[in-house]
Amino acid sequence: MSGVITPQGKIVSTPSKISTRGLESKQTIISQIHRAIEEALANANLGLDDIQGIGIGVPGPLDIKNGIILDPFQLPSLHNFSLRQVIQEHYDVHVFMNNDANCFLLGESYFGAGQGEKIVLGFTLGTGLGAAIVIDGKLILGATETAGEIWFAPYKGEFIEEFNSARGITRTFKKLSGQEKSPVEIAELGHLGDLMAIRAWEEFGTDLGYCIAWCINLLDPDVVIMGGSIAKAMDLFSPAMEKYLRQHICPVPAQKTRVAQAILGDNAGFIGAACLVLQNYK
Protein backbone atom coordinates (compact mmCIF):
# COMPACT_ATOMS: atom_id res chain seq x y z
CA MET A 1 0.00 0.00 0.00
CA SER A 2 1.19 3.54 -0.73
CA GLY A 3 -0.05 6.96 0.25
CA VAL A 4 0.80 10.52 1.17
CA ILE A 5 0.72 12.04 4.65
CA THR A 6 1.21 15.55 5.99
CA PRO A 7 3.91 16.27 8.62
CA GLN A 8 1.07 16.09 11.17
CA GLY A 9 0.20 12.53 10.11
CA LYS A 10 -2.98 13.27 8.18
CA ILE A 11 -3.53 10.94 5.23
CA VAL A 12 -3.98 12.95 2.03
CA SER A 13 -6.71 11.35 -0.10
CA THR A 14 -7.18 7.61 -0.68
CA PRO A 15 -4.15 5.30 -0.30
CA SER A 16 -3.23 3.18 -3.30
CA LYS A 17 -3.29 -0.63 -3.17
CA ILE A 18 -0.93 -2.06 -5.77
CA SER A 19 0.79 -5.45 -5.50
CA THR A 20 4.59 -5.37 -5.63
CA ARG A 21 4.52 -8.76 -7.41
CA GLY A 22 7.65 -9.63 -5.46
CA LEU A 23 8.27 -13.05 -6.99
CA GLU A 24 8.48 -11.66 -10.54
CA SER A 25 11.33 -9.98 -12.43
CA LYS A 26 13.33 -6.99 -11.24
CA GLN A 27 11.83 -4.83 -13.98
CA THR A 28 8.28 -5.78 -12.98
CA ILE A 29 8.84 -5.00 -9.32
CA ILE A 30 10.42 -1.61 -10.03
CA SER A 31 7.60 -0.79 -12.44
CA GLN A 32 5.04 -1.64 -9.73
CA ILE A 33 6.85 0.56 -7.19
CA HIS A 34 6.83 3.46 -9.68
CA ARG A 35 3.15 2.89 -10.29
CA ALA A 36 2.38 2.87 -6.56
CA ILE A 37 4.25 6.14 -5.98
CA GLU A 38 2.68 7.89 -8.93
CA GLU A 39 -0.83 6.69 -8.15
CA ALA A 40 -0.51 7.86 -4.53
CA LEU A 41 0.59 11.31 -5.74
CA ALA A 42 -2.19 11.45 -8.31
CA ASN A 43 -4.82 10.50 -5.71
CA ALA A 44 -3.56 13.36 -3.54
CA ASN A 45 -3.46 15.75 -6.51
CA LEU A 46 0.23 16.42 -5.83
CA GLY A 47 3.47 16.42 -7.78
CA LEU A 48 7.06 15.62 -6.82
CA ASP A 49 7.72 19.29 -6.08
CA ASP A 50 5.07 19.16 -3.36
CA ILE A 51 6.69 16.44 -1.21
CA GLN A 52 9.73 16.34 1.09
CA GLY A 53 10.72 12.83 0.10
CA ILE A 54 9.76 9.19 -0.40
CA GLY A 55 9.92 6.48 2.26
CA ILE A 56 9.97 2.77 1.41
CA GLY A 57 9.44 -0.17 3.76
CA VAL A 58 11.08 -3.40 2.57
CA PRO A 59 11.40 -6.93 4.02
CA GLY A 60 14.83 -7.54 5.54
CA PRO A 61 17.65 -8.25 5.63
CA LEU A 62 18.85 -4.88 4.34
CA ASP A 63 21.92 -2.69 4.19
CA ILE A 64 19.94 0.29 5.46
CA LYS A 65 22.81 2.76 5.42
CA ASN A 66 23.45 2.19 1.71
CA GLY A 67 19.85 1.47 0.70
CA ILE A 68 20.54 -2.06 -0.54
CA ILE A 69 18.19 -5.04 -0.40
CA LEU A 70 20.26 -8.08 0.60
CA ASP A 71 18.48 -11.44 0.31
CA PRO A 72 14.86 -11.51 1.54
CA PHE A 73 13.05 -14.59 0.26
CA GLN A 74 10.02 -12.44 -0.67
CA LEU A 75 12.05 -10.57 -3.34
CA PRO A 76 14.34 -13.15 -5.00
CA SER A 77 15.07 -11.03 -8.10
CA LEU A 78 16.21 -8.04 -6.01
CA HIS A 79 18.97 -9.67 -3.99
CA ASN A 80 21.89 -7.25 -3.43
CA PHE A 81 19.95 -4.56 -5.25
CA SER A 82 20.41 -0.80 -4.66
CA LEU A 83 16.69 0.01 -4.52
CA ARG A 84 17.02 3.40 -2.84
CA GLN A 85 19.47 4.67 -5.45
CA VAL A 86 17.30 3.47 -8.34
CA ILE A 87 14.17 5.18 -6.98
CA GLN A 88 16.06 8.34 -6.05
CA GLU A 89 17.63 8.67 -9.51
CA HIS A 90 14.27 8.10 -11.18
CA TYR A 91 12.39 10.77 -9.20
CA ASP A 92 15.23 13.10 -8.14
CA VAL A 93 13.90 13.46 -4.58
CA HIS A 94 15.24 12.25 -1.25
CA VAL A 95 14.43 8.57 -0.71
CA PHE A 96 14.66 6.73 2.62
CA MET A 97 14.41 2.95 3.02
CA ASN A 98 14.13 0.69 6.05
CA ASN A 99 12.90 -2.67 7.27
CA ASP A 100 9.11 -2.95 7.17
CA ALA A 101 8.94 -3.92 10.87
CA ASN A 102 10.91 -0.78 11.72
CA CYS A 103 8.54 1.28 9.59
CA PHE A 104 5.54 -0.19 11.42
CA LEU A 105 6.87 0.93 14.79
CA LEU A 106 8.04 4.33 13.58
CA GLY A 107 4.53 5.07 12.31
CA GLU A 108 2.93 3.87 15.55
CA SER A 109 5.36 5.94 17.62
CA TYR A 110 4.63 9.12 15.64
CA PHE A 111 0.89 8.82 15.04
CA GLY A 112 -0.37 5.62 16.64
CA ALA A 113 -0.41 3.79 19.96
CA GLY A 114 3.01 5.15 20.96
CA GLN A 115 2.37 8.80 20.15
CA GLY A 116 3.92 11.13 22.73
CA GLU A 117 6.07 8.44 24.37
CA LYS A 118 9.86 8.67 24.62
CA ILE A 119 10.90 4.98 24.43
CA VAL A 120 8.74 2.71 22.28
CA LEU A 121 9.25 -1.03 21.78
CA GLY A 122 7.26 -2.84 19.11
CA PHE A 123 6.64 -6.41 17.97
CA THR A 124 5.21 -7.62 14.68
CA LEU A 125 3.53 -11.01 14.90
CA GLY A 126 2.79 -12.59 11.54
CA THR A 127 4.64 -14.92 9.19
CA GLY A 128 7.63 -14.31 11.46
CA LEU A 129 8.53 -12.42 14.63
CA GLY A 130 9.91 -8.90 14.29
CA ALA A 131 10.84 -6.22 16.79
CA ALA A 132 11.89 -2.58 16.63
CA ILE A 133 12.90 0.25 18.96
CA VAL A 134 12.20 3.97 18.68
CA ILE A 135 13.72 6.48 21.10
CA ASP A 136 12.97 10.21 20.87
CA GLY A 137 11.37 9.72 17.46
CA LYS A 138 14.37 7.91 15.96
CA LEU A 139 14.74 4.26 15.05
CA ILE A 140 17.53 2.48 16.89
CA LEU A 141 19.27 0.32 14.30
CA GLY A 142 22.32 -0.92 16.23
CA ALA A 143 25.98 -1.15 15.26
CA THR A 144 25.27 -3.61 12.43
CA GLU A 145 21.69 -2.46 11.72
CA THR A 146 20.23 -5.64 13.27
CA ALA A 147 18.70 -4.24 16.46
CA GLY A 148 15.38 -5.99 17.03
CA GLU A 149 16.24 -9.19 15.15
CA ILE A 150 15.05 -11.27 18.10
CA TRP A 151 13.53 -14.04 15.96
CA PHE A 152 16.91 -15.80 16.12
CA ALA A 153 16.97 -15.98 19.95
CA PRO A 154 17.10 -19.52 21.43
CA TYR A 155 14.00 -20.79 23.21
CA LYS A 156 13.07 -24.35 24.21
CA GLY A 157 15.78 -25.77 21.95
CA GLU A 158 14.57 -23.83 18.89
CA PHE A 159 14.32 -20.22 17.70
CA ILE A 160 11.70 -18.16 19.51
CA GLU A 161 10.08 -17.30 16.17
CA GLU A 162 8.96 -20.94 15.95
CA PHE A 163 6.63 -20.23 18.88
CA ASN A 164 5.60 -16.59 18.34
CA SER A 165 4.49 -16.54 14.70
CA ALA A 166 1.72 -17.84 12.49
CA ARG A 167 3.36 -21.24 12.21
CA GLY A 168 3.84 -21.21 15.99
CA ILE A 169 0.14 -20.93 16.83
CA THR A 170 -0.71 -23.41 14.05
CA ARG A 171 1.78 -25.93 15.43
CA THR A 172 0.63 -25.50 19.02
CA PHE A 173 -3.02 -26.00 18.06
CA LYS A 174 -2.16 -29.12 16.06
CA LYS A 175 -0.19 -30.50 19.02
CA LEU A 176 -3.22 -30.04 21.29
CA SER A 177 -6.05 -30.99 18.92
CA GLY A 178 -4.49 -32.99 16.12
CA GLN A 179 -6.04 -30.56 13.62
CA GLU A 180 -4.27 -28.35 11.08
CA LYS A 181 -5.83 -24.87 11.17
CA SER A 182 -4.77 -21.38 10.10
CA PRO A 183 -4.30 -18.64 12.73
CA VAL A 184 -7.52 -17.00 11.56
CA GLU A 185 -9.44 -20.25 12.00
CA ILE A 186 -7.87 -20.84 15.43
CA ALA A 187 -8.89 -17.32 16.47
CA GLU A 188 -12.44 -17.95 15.27
CA LEU A 189 -12.57 -21.18 17.27
CA GLY A 190 -11.20 -19.39 20.32
CA HIS A 191 -13.90 -16.74 20.13
CA LEU A 192 -16.48 -19.53 19.89
CA GLY A 193 -15.17 -21.05 23.12
CA ASP A 194 -13.26 -24.05 21.69
CA LEU A 195 -11.12 -25.30 24.58
CA MET A 196 -8.20 -26.49 22.45
CA ALA A 197 -8.04 -23.14 20.65
CA ILE A 198 -8.18 -21.26 23.95
CA ARG A 199 -5.35 -23.40 25.35
CA ALA A 200 -3.28 -22.86 22.20
CA TRP A 201 -3.60 -19.08 22.51
CA GLU A 202 -2.73 -19.30 26.20
CA GLU A 203 0.49 -21.15 25.34
CA PHE A 204 1.21 -18.60 22.64
CA GLY A 205 0.72 -15.78 25.12
CA THR A 206 3.00 -17.35 27.72
CA ASP A 207 5.77 -17.87 25.16
CA LEU A 208 5.35 -14.29 23.98
CA GLY A 209 5.40 -13.04 27.58
CA TYR A 210 8.83 -14.65 28.01
CA CYS A 211 10.12 -12.82 24.95
CA ILE A 212 8.64 -9.45 25.92
CA ALA A 213 9.82 -9.73 29.53
CA TRP A 214 13.46 -10.04 28.44
CA CYS A 215 13.10 -7.01 26.18
CA ILE A 216 11.38 -4.87 28.81
CA ASN A 217 14.02 -5.69 31.40
CA LEU A 218 16.74 -4.68 28.93
CA LEU A 219 15.16 -1.55 27.46
CA ASP A 220 12.63 -0.25 30.05
CA PRO A 221 10.24 1.23 27.44
CA ASP A 222 7.30 3.52 28.10
CA VAL A 223 5.05 1.34 25.94
CA VAL A 224 5.17 -1.97 24.09
CA ILE A 225 3.12 -2.07 20.88
CA MET A 226 1.85 -5.29 19.30
CA GLY A 227 1.19 -5.34 15.56
CA GLY A 228 0.94 -7.73 12.64
CA SER A 229 -1.81 -10.11 11.59
CA ILE A 230 -1.58 -12.29 14.72
CA ALA A 231 -2.02 -9.26 16.99
CA LYS A 232 -5.64 -9.14 15.83
CA ALA A 233 -6.16 -12.08 18.21
CA MET A 234 -4.62 -10.17 21.11
CA ASP A 235 -7.75 -10.56 23.23
CA LEU A 236 -7.14 -14.32 23.17
CA PHE A 237 -3.44 -14.36 24.10
CA SER A 238 -3.07 -11.13 26.08
CA PRO A 239 -4.23 -12.46 29.50
CA ALA A 240 -1.60 -15.23 29.53
CA MET A 241 1.03 -12.89 28.08
CA GLU A 242 0.36 -10.21 30.70
CA LYS A 243 0.30 -12.72 33.56
CA TYR A 244 3.71 -14.13 32.61
CA LEU A 245 5.53 -10.91 31.80
CA ARG A 246 4.29 -8.98 34.88
CA GLN A 247 5.77 -11.76 37.04
CA HIS A 248 9.12 -11.66 35.25
CA ILE A 249 9.93 -7.97 34.85
CA CYS A 250 11.28 -5.55 37.43
CA PRO A 251 8.75 -4.28 40.00
CA VAL A 252 8.45 -0.68 38.78
CA PRO A 253 7.87 -1.46 35.07
CA ALA A 254 5.59 -4.30 36.17
CA GLN A 255 3.31 -1.56 37.50
CA LYS A 256 3.87 1.11 34.85
CA THR A 257 4.83 -0.34 31.45
CA ARG A 258 1.91 -0.30 29.06
CA VAL A 259 1.30 -3.02 26.43
CA ALA A 260 -0.97 -1.82 23.64
CA GLN A 261 -2.31 -3.06 20.32
CA ALA A 262 -1.28 -1.13 17.21
CA ILE A 263 -3.99 1.22 15.94
CA LEU A 264 -2.93 2.28 12.44
CA GLY A 265 -4.18 -0.93 10.84
CA ASP A 266 -3.57 -1.49 7.14
CA ASN A 267 -2.17 2.03 6.80
CA ALA A 268 0.71 1.39 9.23
CA GLY A 269 3.16 0.40 6.49
CA PHE A 270 3.02 3.48 4.32
CA ILE A 271 2.56 5.85 7.28
CA GLY A 272 5.68 4.38 8.88
CA ALA A 273 7.61 4.60 5.61
CA ALA A 274 6.60 8.25 5.30
CA CYS A 275 7.85 8.78 8.85
CA LEU A 276 11.32 7.80 7.61
CA VAL A 277 11.23 11.12 5.80
CA LEU A 278 9.96 12.95 8.89
CA GLN A 279 12.62 11.55 11.22
CA ASN A 280 15.33 12.69 8.84
CA TYR A 281 13.94 16.23 8.73
CA LYS A 282 13.08 16.39 12.45
Per-residue pLDDT of 209-247, as tens digits, reads 999 999 999 999 999 999 999 999 999 999 999 999 999
Q: What is the mean pLDDT of residues 99-125?
A: 96
Same domain (yes/no): 176, 160:
yes
- Which structural domain, as residue segments, surrounds residue 16? 2-103+267-281
More confident residue, 268 or 238: 238
Let me know whether 28 and 140 are in one domain: no
Query: Is 206 part of a structural domain of the chain?
Result: yes
Q: Against a cut of 0.75, is the pTM above it?
A: yes
Residue 41 falls inside a structural domain: yes
Instruction: Look at the chain and report how many structural domains it folds into.
Output: 2
Whether omega for the bond prior to residue 61 falls within 30 degrees of 0, making it cis, is: yes
Give per-residue pLDDT as tens, 172-184: 999 999 999 999 9
User: Is 110 a member of any domain?
Assistant: no
H, E, C per residue of 200-227: HHHHHHHHHHHHHHHHHHHHCCCEEEEE
Does a structural domain hold residue 111? no
252 domain-assigned: yes
The answer on 177 and 258 residing in a single domain is yes
Q: Would you state the pLDDT for residue 280? A: 85
Instruction: Tell whether 109 is covered by a domain.
Output: no
Relative to beta strand 154-155, strand 138-139 is: unpaired
CATH number of the domain residue 91 falls in: 3.30.420.40
Residue 108 lies in a domain: no
Alpha carbon distance 115, 209 (integer Å): 23
Q: Are residues 77 and 156 in the same domain?
A: no
Q: Is residue 248 part of a domain?
A: yes
